[in-house]
Structures are given as structure tokens and as C-alpha cells.
């Protein structure tokens, strides 16, 4: 039973009490008012009595209303609980970028094998220098080398019949052995070949590209006196094969014939011949010296064949050389022809004496040569730098006066 029903019962009880009091006050007039039940009619005011009871419960209604807002603050209470798990969500988010740095970790492992790839690449060019390695084995006689490489194979030293390891071979099986140089230049390509064969052991003839060429072996050459430097001609090829690039300038050769002054250039032959294939053949050929002076300075004089690109000039009496046997040096000077009215400085070079040979590189010129017979000297040269770069040639000299 609630509070409202209790109040209603209380109101009814009060109404009954009031009715009882009314009836007792009018008991003296019972005779006049026989109708007793009429005073009950005014019980109608009891109706308004319960009406104020109705507003009584109204204030009770707002009482529970404040109870309703009580749970409302409880509702926002769980709301802060909702954002509580939200910070838990970003908590795993930093865990996600944690594996991301693990992903770039294997990336530096990928470039690690990449430097291993370029490692075999330098191994590829390694076999390339092995290709030119067999080339120096071919040119005897045969394929291309540099001029300096072929020059180093000339005036061969040592071996049986040599006086020492630094001397050119002079005899073989009791017979005279000829030595010197044969260098062939392909002027169109610049390829240089070289090599002497056993066939080149006759002093008065020589084999060039399979063809025999006489080395001042004709009678008129043998009987001529003095230093000889002349053009090569068809008569110098006894078996045919004379086929020069330029018939007007096929080449030159030099030596000396028999004369009263026998001995000058008697042990050496030198020259240049350019064939129809534009190959220039440079040669020095002679009997190696068996004796070398031990002291003193001597002047040697002679001639040279000088040129390039298959075009050569004979320079008579243009060579002067000073040989210092004390210091074992050779200094060569070649007077070059004028260019019009312009005088050209002489070409100067030299080398050091070793046994009965000499070699060196001076003033941009490389040279190699030897001593022949008693008084003769000759060699080959190649200009590497300077105003005469690209020129080459041969020279021959004989001993002259002694210098102070």
C-alpha cells in the first residue's frame, strides 16, 4: 500500500468523524427534523478533499525525477569508459609501425648482394688483356706489335757463338753469323711486324717478304769506291718480284763497294723498301764485331734513310755519331733536308753500349743498333714525340777520327 492510498483512507476517516460530530450537535432538534439522512448530502465537500490529495502525489512525482537524473550521470560514466579503450586502439598502432622498420631491415640486405654482382664484372675485362698476350708470339715472323716491341727483338744477343750474353752472335758451327734487324710497317694500319729467319744469312742478299733482294751484290756496286747510298731497282730482285708502291721512289740501300779504302761499310748493309701493299721494310744486316775498343772517343760518319707513311728519302753523308767507349755511350745526329728555304734542326738521339750493341731512348726517339766488322756501326730509330713524331729510318756509319 502506497502513501497515496494511506492518505485517502485517512481522509475518509476524517470525513466520517466530521459527520458524526454534525449529527451529535443537532440531537435536540430530532423532533423537528425527522429526516436524519439529509445532512449526509453535504459530504460532497469530501470530493475536494481528495482533490488536494491529488496534488500531494504530484510532488512525489518529481521526487523520482531527480532519481532519473541520478542514473543519467551514470550514463556518462560509461562514456569515459568508451574513450578508455580508444587509447588502447592507438596503442597497437605504434606496434604496427614497429614491424615497418623491420621491412626496411631486409632492404639493406638486398643491396648487399648487389655489390657482389659488380665483383664478377671486373673479371670480364681481365681476360681481355689476355687476348693481346698471344700477339707478341705471332710476329716471328708475323703479326702486329708496336715498333718498340719489334725493335727489342732485333740485334739478337747471347746464345751459342756469342762472345757473351750482351753480344750479338757472330759465328754458328764455325761459320760467320749475320745479325741485325728486319722491321715491316703496314703504313695503312700502323701494324708493325718483325723477324729474321735462317734464310737471311747470306751477306750479299736478303729475303724480304719471300723475295730475294741483292744487297749491293752487283759487280758495279762491288767495284765502286767510297760510301754508297742509292735507290733500289728491279735489277736488285734477281728472281723477279720487284713491285714497289712508287716506281720513282721504291726505296734506298747503302754500304760500300770494294776499293782501295776497303773496310768502310764493308761489314754492313742497310736500307728501306716500300712494296705495292704500302708496307715499308726497314733492315740493317751485317757481320757482328768481335772486338770493341775499351777507351777513347771516336767520330763516326755515314748516311741514313729517313721518312714515314711509306715515303722515304736517302740522306747522303748526313749522319754524325760520337761513340764514347770510356762511358759506353752513343750520340747520333742526323741532318734533315730543308723544307723550302726553312732549315730543319737535326734529329738527335742516342743510347748505351752493351757488348757489341747499343740501345736507348733520348729526346723522344727510341733506337737500337750494333757494331759490325772492325769499324762499322748502324741501327734503326723511331721518333715518338716532338716535331718529327711518326718518322723512322735506318742509318749506317764507319769510324773516322779520334776525338780529344
Any residues with CB less than 8 A from the CB of 397 and at least 6 apart, and which? 300, 301, 302, 319, 321, 376, 377, 378
**Domains identified in the chain, total number:** 1
Q: Is residue 332 part of a domain?
A: yes
Q: Is residue 359 part of a domain?
A: yes
Q: Is residue 339 part of a domain?
A: yes
How much is the pLDDT for 265?
54
Residue 46 dihedral angles phi and psi, to the nearest 5°: -65, -25
Average pLDDT over residues 17-26: 47
Residue 363's region, left for phi above 0, alpha for psi from -120 to 50, else beta, is left
Does 238 score more than 70 pLDDT? yes
Angle at 160 between CA 159 and CA 164, to 5 degrees: 60
Residue 50 dihedral angles phi and psi, to the nearest 5°: -65, -20
Q: Is residue 354 part of a domain?
A: yes
Q: Is residue 53 part of a domain?
A: no
Instruction: Give the dihedral of Cα atoms 209, 211, 212, 215; nearest 10 deg.
Output: -50
Is residue 375 very low, low, confident or very high in pLDDT (cuts 50, 70, 90)?
Answer: confident
How many beta carbons lie within 10 A of that of residue 202, not counting itself? Answer: 14
Contact present, 144 and 191 (Cβ < 8 Å): yes
* Residue 80 three-state SS: helix
Q: Is residue 39 part of a domain?
A: no
Residue 201: give the domain boundaries: 144-403
First to last CA, the chain: 161
Is residue 172 very low, low, confident or very high in pLDDT (cuts 50, 70, 90)?
Answer: low
The label of the residue with cell 481522509 reads 11
Write down the pTM of the prediction: 0.63
Q: Is residue 350 part of a domain?
A: yes
Does 216 score more than 90 pLDDT? no
Strands 211-214 and 227-231: unpaired
Does 334 score more than 90 pLDDT? yes
Any residues with CB less than 8 A from the CB of 260 and at least 6 apart, and which? 225
How much is the pLDDT for 343?
81
Q: Is residue 335 part of a domain?
A: yes
Does 160 score more than 80 pLDDT? no
Give the integer Cα–Cα distance in Å for 327 and 321.
15
Does 65 score more than 70 pLDDT? no
Average pLDDT over residues 171-183: 80
Residue 238 dihedral angles phi and psi, to the nearest 5°: -65, -25
Residue 366: give its domain's CATH number.
2.40.160.90
| Alpha carbon separation from 182 to 151, 285, 339, 350 (Å, rounded) | 9, 8, 30, 20
- b/e 368-396 (16+ beta carbons within 10 angstroms → b): bbbbbbebbbbbbbbbeeeebeebbbbbb
Segment of 45-54, 66-75, 257-266, 380-389 carrying the highest mean pLDDT: 380-389
The label of the residue with cell 580508444 reads 86
How much is the pLDDT for 142?
44
Give the integer Cα–Cα distance in Å for 362 and 145.
21
Amino acid at each position: 500500500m502506497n502513501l497515496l492510498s494511506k492518505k485517502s483512507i485517512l481522509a475518509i476517516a476524517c470525513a466520517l468523524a466530521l459527520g458524526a460530530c454534525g449529527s451529535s450537535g443537532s440531537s435536540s432538534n430530532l423532533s423537528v427534523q425527522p429526516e436524519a439522512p439529509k445532512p449526509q448530502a453535504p459530504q460532497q465537500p469530501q470530493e475536494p478533499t481528495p482533490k488536494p490529495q491529488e496534488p500531494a502525489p504530484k510532488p512525489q512525482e518529481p521526487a523520482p525525477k531527480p532519481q532519473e537524473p541520478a542514473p543519467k550521470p551514470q550514463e556518462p560514466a560509461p562514456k569515459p569508459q568508451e574513450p578508455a579503450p580508444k587509447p588502447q586502439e592507438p596503442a597497437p598502432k605504434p606496434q604496427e609501425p614497429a614491424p615497418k622498420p623491420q621491412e626496411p631491415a631486409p632492404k639493406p640486405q638486398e643491396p648487399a648482394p648487389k655489390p657482389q654482382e659488380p665483383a664478377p664484372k671486373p673479371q670480364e675485362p681481365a681476360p681481355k688483356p689476355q687476348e693481346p698476350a698471344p700477339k707478341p708470339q705471332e710476329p716471328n715472323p708475323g703479326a702486329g706489335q708496336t715498333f718498340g716491341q719489334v725493335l727489342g727483338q732485333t740485334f739478337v744477343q747471347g746464345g751459342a757463338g756469342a762472345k757473351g750474353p750482351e753480344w750479338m752472335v757472330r759465328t754458328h758451327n764455325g761459320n760467320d753469323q749475320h745479325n741485325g734487324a728486319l722491321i715491316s710497317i703496314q703504313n695503312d694500319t700502323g701494324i708493325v711486324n718483325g723477324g729474321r729467319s735462317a734464310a737471311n744469312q747470306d751477306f750479299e742478299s736478303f729475303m724480304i717478304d719471300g723475295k730475294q733482294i741483292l744487297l749491293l751484290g752487283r759487280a758495279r756496286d762491288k767495284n765502286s769506291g767510297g760510301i754508297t747510298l742509292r735507290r733500289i731497282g728491279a735489277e736488285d730482285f734477281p728472281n723477279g718480284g720487284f713491285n714497289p708502291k712508287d716506281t720513282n721512289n721504291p726505296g734506298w740501300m747503302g754500304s760500300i763497294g770494294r776499293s782501295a779504302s776497303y773496310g768502310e761499310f764493308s761489314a754492313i748493309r742497310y736500307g728501306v723498301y716500300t712494296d705495292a701493299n704500302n708496307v715499308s721494310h726497314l733492315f740493317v744486316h751485317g757481320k757482328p764485331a768481335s772486338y770493341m775498343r775499351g777507351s777513347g772517343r771516336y767520330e763516326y760518319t755515314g748516311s741514313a734513310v729517313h721518312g714515314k707513311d711509306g715515303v722515304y728519302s736517302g740522306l747522303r753523308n748526313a749522319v754524325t755519331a760520337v761513340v764514347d767507349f770510356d762511358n759506353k755511350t752513343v750520340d747520333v745526329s742526323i741532318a734533315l733536308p730543308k723544307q723550302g728555304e726553312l732549315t730543319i734542326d737535326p734529329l738527335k738521339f742516342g743510347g748505351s753500349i752493351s757488348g757489341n750493341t747499343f740501345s736507348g731512348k733520348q729526346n723522344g726517339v727510341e733506337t737500337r743498333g750494333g757494331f759490325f766488322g772492325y769499324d762499322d756501326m748502324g741501327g734503326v730509330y723511331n721518333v715518338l714525340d716532338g716535331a718529327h713524331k711518326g718518322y723512322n729510318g735506318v742509318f749506317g756509319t764507319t769510324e773516322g777520327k779520334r776525338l780529344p
